[in-house]
Structure 1
Amino acid sequence: MDARPLSLPHISLRVPALGPHGRRRLAVGALLAGLLVATFLIVRESSLVAVRDVSVTGVSGRDSARVRAALTSAAQDMTTLHVDVDALRTAVAPYPIVKDLRVHRDLPHGLRISVIEHVPVAGVSVDGQRMAVAADGTLLRGTSVADLPTLPLRTPPAGDRIPAGQTARIVAVLGAAPVRLRPLVSKVFVGSRGLTLRLSTGTSLYFGTTDRVDAKWAAAARVLADPSSKGATYLDVRLPERPAAGGLEQVAVQQQQTASSGGTAPGESGTPGAVGGPAAGAANPSATPPVTP
């Protein structure tokens, strides 16, 4: 095959020269654009749009007044056309309860600031002192730890967060709990079945390890919502695909005794037994190793 060089046609692009009127219009356009930018820069820093009305919502607790004051003071140094969100975050950095901020402008002089707070999920005990902690490990000093499960922390934290390790992983498990179940957790410990959460209703949740947390909580919520699990002393979700509710035998005996006497056990309904998995108590307590640091 004869190889020949490929020749392309010559293409010539011509930009028409601007006449005097075209050059004048271009210069006027550039001047107007510059004036508009300069005007905006002047106006955005002027008192015409200065922040005067500051609304702060979403903050509670003993530091709420100080948080509002810090945000209001910082915001009043800004304008609604030039809001420095980083400066607002810096103003509330001394208050660990503040997780983030959402800012909305109300032109010309209003600024609405929504505070997103850290939610305390547990308490940690360091040298006999209890401190609340958020799901991400942030220490919430000054926040009440009443009704929160307490975890021991052997090493005092060097900063504003608990160190990485087993306690931090357990705190993350508590933080992943569904909103309606989290307040029910009264005690947390690592036992023969690994991570165990004791609910105020008397039921123990066997989590085993701290992996697959979302699946385990979903299984626990599903089983606990089933009427036939009422009265269970434990719920094993170490294998979330096969959760098992156990300790229902005593409930069954009470129901049989009540039925033989012609009555109905108060607050009991459904058929006792395992829910969503094998028969009650079928899970092997030693099948899953305990939580490792």
Structure 2
Amino acid sequence: MTRLKVGLAVVAVIVLTGGGYLWLRQSSLVAVRDVQISGITASDGDQVRVALEGAAKDMTTLHVREEILHEATAAYTSVGDLKVKADFPHTLHIQVVERTPVAALTRPGERRVPVTSNGTLLRGVAAERDLPSVKLKSDPSGSRVTDRKVLNALAVASAAPTPLRGRTEEVKVDKRGVIVDLEEGPELIFGDGKDADKKWAAAARVLAEVSAQGAVYLDLRIPGRVAAGGLAPIATPTPDPNLQPEPENSPTLNP
């Protein structure tokens, strides 16, 4: 009989003994020794890992206190939730569900702060370069954005399809509402954050059309009726001196 089988037999005897389970669930026989953590990608990941490992190794696989794990990571804004599974006798699996930033708030001369679609500020987390910027005049107080105009901008940023998300440099707000600045593309006028996904789809459809090339802006405030403005004038070709004039009775195309 292997040592593991002997150990399991001893555990079974203890559990079957009156009150044995209460003793066993706190026993070193089932102490957490191996903490397997997944899902960490944010810049504060090393600190999150250390915090979770330290808290987990004070537990057993028969007495996992998830509230302690949540308390251990409360200071790290990248952590949105934890999924915990005990693997008897000594392993604890922890999946970190991170908050997903959709943009980075910026102020002149200050570092960019990642922010989620619902306005949660991920302070202490480095903003990825591909996150579009949302410029602010003043730093939000507290842990969340409450300004309705900025929340509209975040709703637009979060709905961006992957091909256009990578080209989105800045999301801003002016008297026309939410405006998106595209890299090598026209300005996109969204108005408010309502139906942002439909407005993005309309933008993608129009941008794929040859006739939209050279547009300075696309007005998406009515997704079913996109207005393209500031189209560059079409150059007039130089007449070919060798070209013969067409007969006067030749048909013409309707405008």
- TM score, norm. by length of structure 2: 0.71
Matched, 1:123 2:68: no
Matched, 1:211 2:194: yes
Task: Tell me by how many angstroms 1:191 deviates.
Answer: 4.2
Matched, 1:165 2:148: yes
1:190 counterpart residue number = 173
2:224 counterpart residue number = 241
Counterpart of 1:117 in structure 2: which amino acid?
E
Task: Tell me by how many angstroms 1:186 deviates.
Answer: 0.5
Task: Tell me by how many angstroms 1:101 deviates.
Answer: 1.8
Matched, 1:105 2:60: no
Task: Tell me by how many angstroms 1:207 deviates.
Answer: 0.5
> Secondary structure of the equivalent of 1:158?
coil
Distance 1:126-1:227 versus aligned 2 partners, 3 A rule: closer
Counterpart of 1:125 in structure 2: which amino acid?
T
> Secondary structure of the equivalent of 2:61?
coil
> Secondary structure of the equivalent of 2:180?
strand
> Secondary structure of the equivalent of 1:99?
strand
Equivalent in 94, 115, 118 of residue 136 of structure 1:
118
Measured against aligned partners, the alpha-carbon deviations of 1:88-122 in whole angstroms (never above 9, x if no partner) come to 12111111122222223323221222222223322
Give the number of the structure whose alpha-carbon radius of gyration is greater.
1
Distance 1:36-1:171 versus aligned 2 partners, 3 A rule: farther
Distance 1:89-1:179 versus aligned 2 partners, 3 A rule: farther
Equivalent in 44, 54, 60 of residue 79 of structure 1:
60
Counterpart of 2:180 in structure 1: which amino acid?
L
Q: Which moved more, 1:152-161 or 1:53-62?
A: 152-161
Are the aligned partners of 1:232 and 1:245 in contact in 2 as well (CA < 8 Å)?
no
Task: Tell me by how many angstroms 1:245 deviates.
Answer: 5.0
Q: In 2, Cα distance between the equivalents of 1:147 and 1:82? A: 42
Q: In 2, Cα distance between the equivalents of 1:229 and 1:78? A: 65
Counterpart of 1:136 in structure 2: which amino acid?
N
Aligned positions of 1:2-41 closer than 5 A: 38-41=19-22
Measured against aligned partners, the alpha-carbon deviations of 1:60-81 in whole angstroms (never above 9, x if no partner) come to 3432211111011111112223
Q: In 1, Cα distance between the equivalents of 2:227 and 2:89? A: 60
2:40 counterpart residue number = 59
Distance 1:128-1:46 versus aligned 2 partners, 3 A rule: same
Q: Can you give the 5+ residue segments of structure 1 that lack an aligned partner in the other structure?
A: 1-33, 261-293
2:213 counterpart residue number = 231
Task: Tell me by how many angstroms 1:223 deviates.
Answer: 4.5
Q: How many residues align?
A: 221
Q: In 2, Cα distance between the equivalents of 1:232 and 1:206? A: 16
Counterpart of 2:126 in structure 1: which amino acid?
S
Q: In 2, Cα distance between the equivalents of 1:46 and 1:205? A: 62
Task: Tell me by how many angstroms 1:222 deviates.
Answer: 4.7
Q: In 2, Cα distance between the equivalents of 1:142 and 1:90? A: 17
Are the aligned partners of 2:149 and 2:173 in contact in 1 as well (CA < 8 Å)?
no
- TM score, norm. by length of structure 1: 0.63
Task: Tell me by how many angstroms 1:137 deviates.
Answer: 1.5
Counterpart of 1:115 in structure 2: which amino acid?
V
Q: In 2, Cα distance between the equivalents of 1:37 and 1:241? A: 72
Q: Which moved more, 1:156-165 or 1:62-71?
A: 156-165
CA RMSD of aligned residues (A): 3.2
Counterpart of 1:112 in structure 2: which amino acid?
H
Q: Can you give the 5+ residue segments of structure 2 that lack an aligned partner in the other structure?
A: 1-14, 241-255
